[in-house]
Amino acid sequence: MPTLPPGPSSKLWTLIRYLRDPIGCMVPLAQRYGDPFSFPGDPPMVCTGDPVGIKAIYTADPDTFAPLSADLSVFLGRRSMILLQGAEHRRLRKLMMPPFHGARVRAYGEAICRLAERHTADWQPDRQVMVYEVAQRISLDVILQAVFGVSEPERMAGLATLLLDLLNGISPLIALFPSLRRELGGLGPFAAFLRRQRLLREQLDALIAAARVAGPREDILSLLVQARDEDGQPMTDEEIRDQLILLVVAGHETTAISIAWAFYALHRPENAAALERLRAELAALGRDPEVEALDRQPYLEAVCQETLRRYPLAPAPAPRKLLRPLELMGYTLPAGVGVGVAIGVAHFREDLYPEPLRFKPERFLERKFTPFELVPFGGGARRCLGAAMAAHEMRLVLGTILRRYRLRLASLRPDPGKVRAANAGPAHGVRMIVEERLA
Ligand code: HEM
């Protein structure tokens, strides 16, 4: 085996460190072993947070890589785009792109603001709220509306409950250790997961069947039913169902976590100036601003970008397996090893982000970062499909809630984050006290 970059030798210890401090554990590894460094495993995984290495990975021919964690098909379905490779991945990605373009995404703006208002309408002074939970409900409704339209609100509510139960029932242990996925006579957590999954699939299949006979609508499901590939072929029911699940899974908890981190960061006492500056910008919009005006506020955008930098959702590399050798910063990595971008290193480089642990939205007003320096949504052929939608939703939810309420953190204890399903989210969900309802 050719020489790989150095790295820690214990897989278990590295995993424990990741589970304890998902965002903070990456930089010490790069400091100790250098960049690139290797994670132990079978196969080992080489990762980098250096823009030169990141560029080498994101600009390589996509057929260089295969997804490493095909076993996730148990959760996502066999035809989930995120688990496919090569021509199959390209075909599905092309079919899925149109609903996620800028103009389409902006059409969701009004609904996002109304949902943010509705889910916070009962906030009263002195009440404690868990921002992550509220954000999760908002983003779940946003994605359900975008995906299925709003024709049947009650059915959507049922679907939302089913999905939340299903996702919250996936423990990191089941996700990380395939050997624990046993039905145990129908009693274990995995059996419960399978029961919920069956129920969900039945409901989705019924919705797909209905969309096939209905006329064209604007929602994503309808667009997927109408989509045709280069050979004029439609997507199969299984393909559509697995992508619907992927969109809801990839699209709601991710955005909710990032919104919760934004509230957390802004309300830390050391970031009071950032909160004040944002509040001033939002107040200057007057009483009933257009959604587009709210969406275009530069400091609001900088706050969201800084949140995605400082609190990356996927600080550890999304694993890829090399199908052919790759040159990475002086190493010739052989086929068969894993490779990935360590966002938790990239976003904390002193040379790019001075005082990297500080929350400083101003850095995004002062300079632009390349797609190999700032990578919250990944890059290359597998860059997040929902990036524009997520960024749009973050700005509008944050802006809408801050215009209506003053809040403070219920506890000032620093939050190192914890692994929630596959993402690094706030450990305690960001508990806040409502201070004032603004006129
Ligand atoms: C703040 C919110 C979000 C963040 C930080 C985020 C981050 C990411 C990252 C880092 C990847 C790349 C993973 C890899 O390299 O394999 C990814 C992939 C993906 N994301 Fe997101 N995401 C967010 C929200 C969304 C939303 C709202 C949607 C859909 C509505 C979405 C759909 C997807 C899909 C479908 C992929 C797979 C793309 C592919 O394999 O071709 N994400 N996301």
89 Cβ contact list (under 8 Å, min separation 6): 62, 81, 381, 382
Q: Is the CB of 254 under 6 A from ligand 1?
A: yes
Structure tokens that stand for 6 in this block: 């150095």
Residue 214 lies in a domain: yes
Calculate mean pLDDT across residues 168-193.
74
Region at 207 (left for phi over 0; alpha for psi -120 to 50; beta for the rest): alpha
Q: Is the CB of 143 under 6 A from ligand 1?
A: yes
Across the beta sheet with 128-130, the strand order is: 128-130, 431-437, 405-409
pLDDT at position 256 is: 95
Q: Is the CB of 377 under 6 A from ligand 1?
A: yes
Of the given ranges (54-63, 205-214, 271-280, 416-425), which has the lowest mean pLDDT?
416-425
C-alpha 313 to ligand 1 mean position (Å): 10
Phi, psi of 309 (to 5 degrees): -75, -55
**pLDDT-derived band of residue 359, with 50, 70 and 90 as boundaries?**
very high
- One-letter amino acid of 261: W
Residue 413 lies in a domain: yes
Residue 378 lies in a domain: yes
**Over the stretch 333-354, which tens digit does the pLDDT of each residue have?**
999 999 999 999 999 999 999 9
Q: Is the CB of 319 under 6 A from ligand 1?
A: no
Q: Is the CB of 374 under 6 A from ligand 1?
A: no
Q: Is the CB of 344 under 6 A from ligand 1?
A: no
Q: Is the CB of 247 under 6 A from ligand 1?
A: yes
C-alpha 203 to ligand 1 mean position (Å): 24
Nearest CA to ligand 1 atom 39: 382
pLDDT at position 69 is: 66
Structure tokens that stand for 130 in this block: 């868990």
Q: Say if residues 21 and 29 touch (Cβ distance below 8 Å).
A: no
pLDDT at position 217 is: 84
Torsion of CA 278, 281, 282, 283, to 10 degrees: 120
Residue with the larger pLDDT of the pair 174 and 86: 86
**Over the stretch 184-193, which tens digit does the pLDDT of each residue have?**
777 777 888 8
Say how far apart CA 136 and CA 142 lie, in whole Å: 10
Reduce the DSSP state of residue 263 to 3 states and report it: helix
Residue 270's CATH number: 1.10.630.10
Calculate mean pLDDT across residues 281-292.
94
C-alpha 247 to ligand 1 mean position (Å): 9
Q: Is the CB of 113 under 6 A from ligand 1?
A: no
DSSP-assigned states of every residue in 353-367:
SSSTTS--TTHHHH-
Residue 431 lies in a domain: yes
Q: Is the CB of 69 under 6 A from ligand 1?
A: no
C-alpha 387 to ligand 1 mean position (Å): 7
Of the given ranges (72-76, 97-101, 429-433), which has the lowest mean pLDDT?
72-76
Ligand 1 closest atom vs CA 381: 41
Helix and strand counts by DSSP (H, E) for the chain: 19, 12
Reported as type and span, the H/E element at residue 137 is helix 131-148
Q: Say if residues 240 and 231 touch (Cβ distance below 8 Å).
A: no
Residue 369 lies in a domain: yes
Ligand 1 closest atom vs CA 340: 15
Residue 75 lies in a domain: yes
Q: Is the CB of 274 under 6 A from ligand 1?
A: no
Residue 374 lies in a domain: yes
User: Is the pLDDT confidence value at 152 over 70?
Assistant: no
Reduce the DSSP state of residue 427 to 3 states and report it: coil
Domain extent for 118: 11-437
Give the distance, in angstroms, between the CA of residue 161 and the centroid of all CA atoms in the same chain. 20
C-alpha 84 to ligand 1 mean position (Å): 15
User: Is the pLDDT confidence value at 1 over 60?
Assistant: no
- Number of folded domains in the chain? 1
Residue 6 lies in a domain: no
